Structures are given as structure tokens and as C-alpha cells.
Structure 1
Amino acid sequence: MLVLIRPSKVSSMMSLQRILYVASEIAPFLETSLVSNCVRKLPEAMQSKQIDVRIVVPKFGTINDRMNRLHEVLRLSGSIVSVNDVDHSISVKVSTIPNTRLQVYFVDNNDLFGSRRSVFKDQNNNFFEDNDLRMIFFCMGVMETLKKLEWEADIVHCHDWITALIPIFWKKLYQNHPLFTKAKLVFTLYNNTFSHHFPFLTERIEKIGIAREDAVLLTPGGFRNIIQFAMDYSDLVLRGEILDAVEFEDLFKSNELPWVQNDDQYNEGYFAVYKSLLLPV
């Protein structure tokens, strides 16, 4: 299901040639929510239309390198991201989705991702206290990976809360880099909510260069704040499913689009949405 929240305004015509998908997970490498299925289908559908597609996800420790045939891309690895005054190195691995031509890039850091044998919760089912640091690192890692790829997107489609900082990084931290000047940012919401709050998230975002007046919008660092933040800096916001969690109540006013099933019509629906972003208003 697609629900339009806010249309983009653009001043000139652009052709749709390149789409970047950034997500929390993708099948078959990791499947914990609806995100994995959506992000698995959409890129292949767009690639079938001769669109150049790139996919970037975190390399969670639950993803086995050998079983999934992941290997490190040395030319993309080695960048350093400073999060909360601690330097973290970026390792980028790649694999191909079986029976497709789709390559997936995995952003990894052993301390924050690779060494943990779970996704967002520890063995006692407690939300990791540093999931905010992991979010910051992953989103910065995506930006740095794109710089090394020297690849410019027309559409950047972010899925789920861990990608929520991509829009502001794109428009505020990297706005002067030539690779990050033209893309339109799409953010898709899912019911992957949590009750944890990150009391230092605003401060940590400020430290990496986000202005105080922008960073304060993340206070007090809850799921709702993070989602609202992503919505404010995206050109288009979509729903990946019916949003029934209390955290979404009164968050936005929406204009419903028709239900779109997971078939050719579903793919055409997304394609039309992407194209509409690039049309002059």
C-alpha cells in the first residue's frame, strides 16, 4: 500500500535513470519484517525497466558471510566515521541476490554490527542502548560509500527507522558535494516501532555537524521523534503497510492512494510515484 503524505516540488524535468534503496534489511539475507520483502521486490522490478539500481543495508551479525557469499570491497572500505567522539571504521561487503543481477552492499563495523548475533535487541530481549549510535554510523556509512562509488542517484528510497537520518545528511551535511545535489528523497514507514528513548541523540547529531535548531527536533529521542525528523527532510513519505501502532497517531494527515497489490501493478505504482517526483510542478 502506498500513501502519499507530501509531494515534492521540483523546478526542472529529470529523467529516472538511477535509484538508491537504503533499508534495514532485505530478503534473503535477513527477514524480520515486511521491509525485507518490499526491498527485495522493488529493486528488481525497477532494474527490469533498465534503471540502474543500488541497494545498501547494514551488515548485522546474524548475516553469515560464507553462507551468503559476502566479500569485502576494499576500495569502498576504510573510511572513518566519528560518532560520539569515537572513530569507527567502515567495512563494505557485497553479495548478489540469488537468481538476479542485483548486488547488495552491506555497511559493517565489527563493534557496532558484525560482532553481535542479533539485530536490535540483546539476548535478554532488551533494546540495545547504542542503537542510536548504530543508526548514525549506518547512515554516515551509506553517504561515505556512495562517495567512494562515485555514483549519483535520481531517487533515494529509504525504508524503516534506521535510515531516518539519510534525508538530513543528504540535504545538510553533504549538500555541497556534487553527488548529493539532485536526488529526491523518499521515506517509507513501517510498524517496526519501539518504546526506547535516546536522551543523547540530539547532542550526538549536533556533534557531527547538524545545526542546533535542526538537531533539537529529535528531542527527546523517541521513535516518533526519529520518524518525524525523517518526514520533515524527505520529499515524499509513503506507508509500506497499514500503520496501526500508537506512535503514528496524529503524526500526519494523509491522502490515501488505492491499494496496490504485490504484482506487476504494484511495481507500476511505485514506478509512477518515482516518475512523479521528477516532473516539473
Structure 2
Amino acid sequence: MKDKRILYVSSEVIPYLPETELSSTAFNVAKYAHSKGIQTRIFMPRFGVINERRHQLHEVIRLSGMNLIINDMDMPLIIKVASIPKERMQVYFIDNDEYFKRKAIYTDEDDKLFADNDERMIFFAKGVVETVKKLNWAPDIIHVHGWMASLLPLYLREYYKEEPLFAESKIVTSLYSNEFEGELSQDFFKKVQFDKIENASVAHLETPTQENILKNAILNSDAIIKGSNDFSSDLEQFITESGVMVLDYQSEELLTEAYLDFYRENVLELQDS
């Protein structure tokens, strides 16, 4: 695995955001892979609650400066980078004042989901891909964590399907339960369709609950990992019927080695259809 490249894309990563099942798993798996000599890059949104001074984030001018089209609007892409202390691991932050400057992550002061979370998801997915293209860094595995990041498999499969940099990349999505209740914007479906992505590919997003967003990610991934231990029977059945390769939930003390074994013995052995 030493000559392999793994791109980790997560909604949350410690130490930049509070410790949760998601943020700690994403960090620990990347850290372990990095310690084994695997080339790693971590991408996450630059939420306004992240203290840029404390964590020494700085803008990368050569990567910033492009605009992404989100639902027919030009949105500037800003790229920031930091190194996790003691680990020598680089973390790239996808930033835009309109989407990420607010001092909150997913919900407002009344604990209601932000109305533009759907656009933030699209911006994050496109921002990751465009930045990796500028880096000219072709990953062997792209490992996605968290619902805010979970449009990336769809965009890689559809919007960027002709992009040669990702032609050999395998997509792994970690699923987490109970990340949000309710639904995102009812216009989510139309905003993804604006990017000329076929109706059948986004059918689950017509009712954009967390579970349906995860179903869309499952169908566009080469393999999935159960990052939590408590999913609904409906989602469990969907996972089984999807035919996608699965790694079952792993306890915290076992997961780093189990994930690396899964990459090596299963994901990298998949043949392109």
C-alpha cells in the first residue's frame, strides 16, 4: 500500500471540529494510513466555527481564484490549507464566504437546517474535485465521510465521468446514522439536475432526507463502510439489495487496521466494469 494515494473527504475532522463518531473516525483512519507510508490528503469544508489563527490555516493563492457554477450562480472558490500538528498531514479546506463564513455548521440558532445546505453540498463536491485537478494528484481510493460530503460519489460518477484523473479511483463511502432529521431544500433535485445529471441518477434526492442522501451515495460507490452501528431496517435492506461491497461496523480500537485491510484486500482488487 505504500505507493498508494488515498483522498479523504469528510464533513468533519478533529481537531478542527468537536469530537464525534464521524470527525474522530475520519481523522484516525487517515492518520493510520499516513503512518503506514500511504500518501494521504484530507479535504473538509472551512466552516466559520473553525479558528483559523489557532489552527494556522492559510489561503493557497495558486489553487484559489476559480468560480464554481452552483444553480446558475458564480460562486468563488477559496482554498485554505493547514497541517495537523505532529502528524505532518495536510488538510485542505473548501471555502466560500456565502456558504461557510457563518459561525455554525449545519443548523441555525433555532437548530433548523440551513436552507442552502443543498448548495453547500454541491459546492463542496465540485470544490474538492476542482482542487484535486489543480494539484494533479490522482487518488487510488477516495474515501467519503458524512452527509455534507456525500454528493461526491454522484458527481464523480456523472458530472466528472470524463475526467481522466479519476479514471482508476475507487470510491468508498462511510455511512453514519442520525446526522440530521427532516429534509433539505425541496429544490435540491433541480439544482443537481442543472448540472446535466440524469433524472434516474438523482431520483432519491427528490425527497432529500438523510437516508435518501445516503442511498444515492451507496449507488455511486464501489464500496461502503458502516461507520455507525444503528441504521434503520429500510437502509439495511437497501444496502443488502444494492450489491455494493460492505465492511460492517468496526469498534474504535479495531477500525484503523480493519479499514486498511479492507482497502488492500477488497477495494483495490475490484475490477472496473
TM norm structure 2: 0.90
Distance 1:227 1:245, change over 3 A: same
Which residue of structure 2 lines up, in the alignment, with residue 194 of structure 1?
A: 181
Distance 1:35 1:112, change over 3 A: same
In the alignment, structure 1 residue 142 sits paired with structure 2 residue 142: no
Query: Sequence identity, in percent?
Result: 35
In the alignment, structure 1 residue 73 sits paired with structure 2 residue 60: yes
In the alignment, structure 1 residue 266 sits paired with structure 2 residue 255: yes
Which residue of structure 1 lines up, in the alignment, with residue 167 of structure 2?
A: 181
SS in 2 for 1:129: coil
Counterpart of 2:113 (choices 127, 132, 141) is 127
Between stretches 183-192 and 14-23, larger displacement belongs to: 14-23
Contact 2:3 2:39 in 1 (8 A): no
In the alignment, structure 1 residue 57 sits paired with structure 2 residue 47: no
Which residue of structure 2 lines up, in the alignment, with residue 88 of structure 1?
A: 75
Q: Which runs of 5+ in 2 are unaligned?
A: none
Between stretches 52-61 and 80-89, larger displacement belongs to: 80-89
Q: How many residues align?
A: 266
Q: How many angstroms does 1:258 deviate by?
A: 7.0
SS in 2 for 1:253: helix
SS in 1 for 2:91: strand
Contact 1:173 1:209 in 2 (8 A): yes
Contact 1:20 1:156 in 2 (8 A): yes
In the alignment, structure 1 residue 21 sits paired with structure 2 residue 8: yes
Counterpart of 2:268 (choices 265, 275, 278) is 278
TM norm structure 1: 0.88
Moved beyond 3 Å, runs of 4+? 244-251, 254-263
- 1:211 maps to a residue whose letter is E
Contact 1:200 1:221 in 2 (8 A): no
Which residue of structure 1 lines up, in the alignment, with residue 139 of structure 2?
A: 153
Distance 1:167 1:237, change over 3 A: same
Contact 1:189 1:237 in 2 (8 A): yes
SS in 2 for 1:173: coil
Distance 1:257 1:208, change over 3 A: closer
In the alignment, structure 1 residue 162 sits paired with structure 2 residue 148: yes
RMSD: 2.2
Question: What are the Cα deviations for residues 9-67 of structure 1, in whole angstroms up to 9, with x where unaligned?
Answer: xxxxx986000000011101012521110111111111121110000000000001111
SS in 2 for 1:92: strand
Distance 1:235 1:256, change over 3 A: closer
Q: How many angstroms does 1:257 deviate by?
A: 6.0
Aligned partners of 2:66 and 2:34: how far apart in 1?
29
Q: How many angstroms does 1:122 deviate by?
A: 0.8
Distance 1:256 1:212, change over 3 A: closer
Contact 2:121 2:149 in 1 (8 A): yes
Highest RCO, 1 vs 2 (Cα 8 Å, sep ≥ 6): 1
